[in-house]
Amino acid sequence: MRDKIVFDIETKNTFADVGGRDNVSDLEISVVCVYSYNNDSYLCFTEHEMGKLEEVMKQAYLIIGFASKRFDVPVLNKYFKFNLSSIPHFDILEEIEESFGRRVGLGILAEANLGVGKTGQGLDAPDFYRNGEMEKLKDYCLNDVKVTKDIYELIKKQGYLWVPRRNVPQMEKVTLEYKEIDAPPTGLL
């Protein structure tokens, strides 16, 4: 049966290492974590397990991420024999930008809507990798997947998120249209 996957990637290097944001596809994977709705489980894949991850992603009828269309997918595509962009994709940040008009960080959204924060910052991940702290790296990535999944579930349930506004204490209610798509029968994709 086709699956719905929430995912996040971490990289070995940074934009500074590859000459800027225009070279996002030059970044290299250190770890990718996913949540599989079919299995109700979280999985982590290291850079040497991209073949296994590819098989998981090939089974997806929907992928869910945060800033994933402009960051995660371009990095992952060079590791796969198929175009990950061909799978229907719900990018939470892209939806927020369309509705709210600006970017908002995952940590800020998590604190405002879930009462939890992220366990670190994106630039921690390359340091964890360089220092051989793979368990810290996996835990960091897994936490981002859990937060992304919880934010996605909240969007499905209530159709909006609270977004902090700059320089004022009140938050803005940002409506996010989401219509669940059903998994196609096996063999149609």
pTM above 0.95, yes or no: no
pLDDT (0 to 100) of residue 148: 97
Dist CA 14 CA 86 (whole Å): 26
Name the average pLDDT for the chain.
90
Q: How far is Cα of residue 89 from the mean position of the Cα atoms in its chain?
A: 11
Kindly state the average pLDDT of the residues 158-187.
82
Which helix (H) or strand (E) is 15 found in, with range?
A: helix 15-18
Q: Which two tokens stand for residue 157?
A: 């349930």
pLDDT at 188: 46
Give per-residue pLDDT as tens, 61-112.
Answer: 999 999 999 999 999 999 999 999 999 999 999 999 998 988 888 999 999 9
- For tokens 């109700």, what's the residue? 40
**Cα dihedral sign, 116-157-149-175:** negative
CATH number for domain 3-175, candidates 3.20.20.70, 3.30.420.10, 3.90.230.10, 2.60.120.200: 3.30.420.10
How far apart CA 135 and CA 139 sit, in angstroms, is 6
